[in-house]
Chain A
Amino acid sequence: MTFEEIQKEAKADWDSLYHGRAPHILIGTATCGRAAGAMPVVEAFNEELARRNVQARVTEVGCIGLCSLEPLVIVVKPDSFAVCYHNVTPQMVPTLVESYIQNDDPCLDLALGTVEAVEGEAVYIPELSRFEHEHRLLMRNCGYIDPVNVNHYIANGGYTSLVKALQMEPAAIVEEIKKSGLRGRGGAGFPTGRKWELCRRTPVQPKYVICNADEGDPGAFMDRIVLESDPQQVIEGMIIAAYAIGATEGFVYIRAEYPLAIERLTVALEQARRLNLLGDNILGSGFSFDIEIVQGAGAFVTGESTALMYAIEGKRSMPRARPPRSVKAGLWGKPTVLNNVKTYAYVPLILSRGADWFSGIGTENSKGTAVFALAGKLVNTGLAEVAMGTTLRQLIFDIGGGIRGSKKFKAVQIGGPSGGCLPEEMLDTPVDFDSLRRAGAIMGSGGVIAMDEDNCMVDTAKFFLDFSQRESCGKCSTCRLGTKQMLDILEDITAGRGRIEDIDLLIELAEDIKDGSLCGLGRTAPNPVLTTIRYFRDEYEAHIVEKRCPALVCKELIAYYILPEKCERGCEHCVLVCPVEAISTTEKGIKVIDQAKCSKCGSCQLVCPPEYNAVIRLSPPDSVPARRVEKSG
């Protein structure tokens, strides 16, 4: 089959989705959608359609990126417009089927908006305020196409770049990528074109192409969404990379914790092979290349490129000293190009729309877009793709919708365990590789976690260090022992045993770990501690000097207290829920917590009815008012 024939078939298949004769229901069933209950919704649609004998198709799609609104359902109706519904439950399904599929009421009160622009009251989704700040390149198809139907990708322009690339000189492709200014999206931001060129010029065969999908940062899931929603763009990018550097074998190293991404990628690879877009003699060009999936077994350090190559070889993934660089001697000692999922996904776009188009987006030294996973205390959690140079403020307030409830923004953590916590006054920092590094954070994996006044910065630093310390591979003693020492100090501080000189000791240890560690994990592990000291030193001092946790988080520095004047005497919620039987009732019926017994689980505060709101936290713990002496009862 020629590529024109493939395209023609793909177009027909795609048209049946959005312009078919029967209604079509698209349900977002990426991992996050499933967690929010998408699978029972799929089942409910199938049952309801069968029960009413309605001819309609149900297709599972990827994720549009609006996690807090999942499950999301798009109903495509012939001769009408497509509507996207949010927070869909199985109970809503009969209404949707009856109102819009069988009749003409689009139920706009349940809808997020319309997928096509229509006249009238309906909101057009791309015009939602958050999307005005977004610039979707990698996520353009996510949630709209069937990730396990290669035709949908092809019908939307997919694989034309590969066809174009196969007619180009490999060196010209490398030139184009260099000209685009694309930098690696794994976090460090090494120029992709230069990496490819170095590998291309190494006169050793065979060569390998590796895609790093070992997204290990707790709180980041962009790569997973890309692979679960539109995997073909990554495959196409890898094939082009292989052609450009002269590789015949490729690997996708992906976390075993991402079973759905693995499943969808496996199907996508199979479909690409069937159309001869992958495999022997691709599209008759004489160029052969195939991709194998390797499942990671869970080790954060494997995300480091030299470590990852050892993992593919079946060894312990411990980073090694460079040189030699992987582009000269990587996997099995052969020249290897390793890039992140998103880096490969940009490649087809750059070839089809041109390096100049790509370099027109973003800032002087950081081109294109960046995908962030927004989480924490935000109104709109989920994924956002923005042009490089967008400020953190826009990301958090315009797209993320600001902090939930009436709480105040305190800090944003960006870059995961290797990144840093930035305060309010740094929110005008543009998100690009260099600005973030100057602020003490890093672009890293792209996890963005917003924190409010209820989050303790010392505890946050301790959390990340605990993670890095567990995940240290142990090769460099500064990392293995240094992170443990830092963690011990932070544990002392959060338990009220800190000394004021500990702050300087932490900084000193941090510098030594940075200097004495081989890989990125060790060199960046102190960042969360350093940035919290830099921007929130007063919180460290409160813990150390006053034995007080200002955010009322650190267990050993807080106490739970029931305000006698607020306690509704007849209510027993807290008494019943307390797992350690620390709450008793006085003669007057007021509940009192026995501080010696209290395990500080917070259950009493959670169950105290909001109209009483009698349970509070106090810090330091000795600020609990002494109990009035009452007659023994």
Chain B
Amino acid sequence: MEELRKELADILLADRKDRRHLIALLQKVQQKLGYLSREAMLAIADYLKIPESTVYGIATFYNQFRFVPLGKYPVKICMGTACHLAGGALVLEAMARELDIEVGGITPDHEFSLERVACVGCCALAPVVVIGDTVYPRMTPPKVEELLVTIKPASKKAAK
């Protein structure tokens, strides 16, 4: 806990001690740690002198916050309207099958995590998959396997 507090010191001290900045604080902490750990949320509650339940209540309300770490290759499947109509659900299924994890999960080797997102705004390229910062356009179930192989040949096997 002490160590974490030190790690978060820059973030916590940069903002004014104001309830108003709770969401921004959570965003910055998540940016740094990759997710919101229980200890991090306790540290924020302590810093702002608000109940822990309030912090947890906010963190669980908004879609952006996650409570498990991201994989080295965070996979996001777009589930926006255009992607849905172009078969996004089949791509999601294929990805979950290939990685052998559920939405919100992470592979045991921590290489891949899988999330669904509402819309990444690349509707002309639907359906899309985003891995890290790269958008992969016009995906299909057969392409999912190919994509994972090019991203990390070894880890696909490990995931299976």
Measured CB to CB, the residues of A under 8 A from B are: 31-32, 34-36, 67-68, 70, 216-221, 224, 256-258, 294-295, 297-300, 311-317, 373, 375-377, 381-382, 413, 416, 447, 449, 451, 455, 460, 463-464, 467, 473, 577, 579, 599, 601-603, 606-607
Are A314 and B121 also in contact (CB < 8 A) when A447-B81, A601-B94 are? no
- What are 19 A-B interface contacts by the 8 Å CB criterion? A31-B121, A32-B121, A32-B124, A36-B124, A216-B118, A218-B118, A220-B119, A297-B63, A297-B65, A315-B58, A316-B58, A373-B123, A382-B124, A413-B81, A416-B81, A449-B123, A601-B141, A602-B87, A603-B94
Q: Is B84 an interface residue (CB 8 A)?
A: yes
Task: Give A218 to B80 CA distance when docked, in angstroms.
Answer: 5
Contacting residues, chain A, for B81 (C-beta < 8 A): 218-219, 375-376, 413, 416, 447, 449, 463-464
Tell me how far the C-beta of B90 lies from the nearest C-beta in chain A, rounded to whole angstroms: 6
Residue of B22, B23, B124 contacting most chain A CB atoms (<10 Å) = B124
Contacting residues, chain B, for A602 (C-beta < 8 A): 87, 90, 141
Contacting residues, chain A, for B101 (C-beta < 8 A): none
Task: Give A258 to B62 CA distance when docked, in angstroms.
Answer: 16
7 tightest A-B CB contacts, nearest first: A67-B124, A375-B123, A297-B62, A218-B80, A219-B81, A298-B63, A218-B119
Question: Which residue of chain B has its CB nearest to the CB of A33?
Answer: B122
Tell me how far the C-beta of B135 lies from the nearest C-beta in chain A, rounded to whole angstroms: 4
Tell me how far the C-beta of A499 lies from the nearest C-beta in chain B, rounded to whole angstroms: 25
Contact (Cβ within 8 A) B124 A68: yes
Are A257 and B124 also in contact (CB < 8 A) when A314-B19, A606-B142 are? no
Tell me how far the C-beta of A552 lies from the nearest C-beta in chain B, rounded to whole angstroms: 12
Task: Give A466 to B62 CA distance when docked, in angstroms.
Answer: 17
Contact (Cβ within 8 A) B80 A219: yes
Tell me how far the C-beta of A409 lies from the nearest C-beta in chain B, rounded to whole angstroms: 13
Q: Is B79 an interface residue (CB 8 A)?
A: yes
Contacting residues, chain B, for A257 (C-beta < 8 A): 64, 117, 120
Task: Give A601 to B92 CA distance when docked, in angstroms.
Answer: 10
Contacting residues, chain A, for B82 (C-beta < 8 A): 219, 375-376, 381, 449
Given contacts A31-B120, A579-B97, 7 further A-B contacts (CB under 8 A): A298-B63, A299-B62, A313-B19, A314-B18, A314-B22, A375-B123, A602-B90
Contact (Cβ within 8 A) B122 A579: no
Are A31 and B64 also in contact (CB < 8 A) when A218-B81, A314-B22 are? no
Partner of A375, one of B65, B79, B124: B124
Q: Is B32 an interface residue (CB 8 A)?
A: no
Task: Give A375 to B123 CA distance when docked, in angstroms.
Answer: 6
Task: Give A381 to B126 CA distance when docked, in angstroms.
Answer: 11
Q: Is B27 an interface residue (CB 8 A)?
A: yes
Question: Which residue of chain A has its CB nearest to the CB of B134?
Answer: A35
Contacting residues, chain A, for B128 (C-beta < 8 A): 35
Task: Give A257 to B87 CA distance when docked, in angstroms.
Answer: 22
Contacting residues, chain A, for B153 (C-beta < 8 A): none
Contact (Cβ within 8 A) B62 A298: yes
Residue of B20, B63, B84, B85 contacting most chain A CB atoms (<10 Å) = B85
Contact (Cβ within 8 A) B93 A601: yes
Measured CB to CB, the residues of B under 8 A from A are: 18-24, 26-27, 57-58, 61-65, 79-82, 84-85, 87, 90, 93-94, 97-98, 117-126, 128, 135, 137, 140-142
Tell me how far the C-beta of A68 lies from the nearest C-beta in chain B, rounded to whole angstroms: 5
Interface SS majority for chain B: helix
Task: Give A219 to B125 CA distance when docked, in angstroms.
Answer: 12
Contact (Cβ within 8 A) A603 B141: yes
Task: Give A607 to B57 CA distance when docked, in angstroms.
Answer: 47
Tell me how far the C-beta of B160 lies from the nearest C-beta in chain A, rounded to whole angstroms: 11
Contact (Cβ within 8 A) B141 A314: no
Tell me how far the C-beta of A474 lies from the nearest C-beta in chain B, rounded to whole angstroms: 9
Partner of B61, one of A32, A312, A317, A373: A317
Contacting residues, chain A, for B80 (C-beta < 8 A): 218-219
Task: Give A315 to B19 CA distance when docked, in angstroms.
Answer: 9
Contacting residues, chain B, for A577 (C-beta < 8 A): 142
Partner of A579, one of B23, B125, B141: B141
Task: Give A317 to B64 CA distance when docked, in angstroms.
Answer: 13
Contact (Cβ within 8 A) A297 B118: no
Are A314 and B142 also in contact (CB < 8 A) when A381-B124, A579-B94 are? no
Contact (Cβ within 8 A) B118 A300: yes
Contacting residues, chain B, for A220 (C-beta < 8 A): 119
Question: Which residue of chain A has its CB nearest to the CB of B81?
Answer: A219
Tell me how far the C-beta of A299 lies from the nearest C-beta in chain B, rounded to whole angstroms: 5
Contact (Cβ within 8 A) A463 B62: no
Partner of B85, one of A216, A315, A373, A451: A451
Are A316 and B61 also in contact (CB < 8 A) when A257-B120, A375-B124, A375-B126 are? yes
Are A377 and B85 also in contact (CB < 8 A) when A219-B119, A295-B27, A316-B61 are? yes
Tell me how far the C-beta of A535 lies from the nearest C-beta in chain B, rounded to whole angstroms: 17
Question: Which residue of chain A has its CB nearest to the CB of B98?
Answer: A579
Contacting residues, chain A, for B135 (C-beta < 8 A): 34-35
Question: Which residue of chain A has its CB nearest to the CB of B130?
Answer: A35
Contacting residues, chain B, for A317 (C-beta < 8 A): 61-62
Question: Which residue of chain A has its CB nearest to the CB of B87?
Answer: A602
Contacting residues, chain A, for B84 (C-beta < 8 A): 218, 463
Partner of B121, one of A224, A377, A601, A606: A224
Contacting residues, chain B, for A314 (C-beta < 8 A): 18-24, 58
Residue of A32, A220, A314, A382 contacting most chain B CB atoms (<10 Å) = A314
Contacting residues, chain A, for B24 (C-beta < 8 A): 294-295, 314
Are A35 and B26 also in contact (CB < 8 A) when A316-B61, A602-B87 are? no
Tell me how far the C-beta of B47 lies from the nearest C-beta in chain A, rounded to whole angstroms: 13
Tell me how far the C-beta of B57 lies from the nearest C-beta in chain A, rounded to whole angstroms: 7
Tell me how far the C-beta of A413 lies from the nearest C-beta in chain B, rounded to whole angstroms: 7
Contact (Cβ within 8 A) B97 A219: no
Contact (Cβ within 8 A) A221 B85: no
Partner of B122, one of A35, A298, A300, A315: A35
Question: Which residue of chain B has its CB nearest to the CB of A576?
Answer: B142
Question: Which residue of chain A has its CB nearest to the CB of B116?
Answer: A470
Task: Give A69 to B36 CA distance when docked, in angstroms.
Answer: 40
Contact (Cβ within 8 A) A32 B122: yes
Tell me how far the C-beta of A163 lies from the nearest C-beta in chain B, rounded to whole angstroms: 34
Tell me how far the C-beta of A438 lies from the nearest C-beta in chain B, rounded to whole angstroms: 23
Tell me how far the C-beta of B109 lies from the nearest C-beta in chain A, rounded to whole angstroms: 21
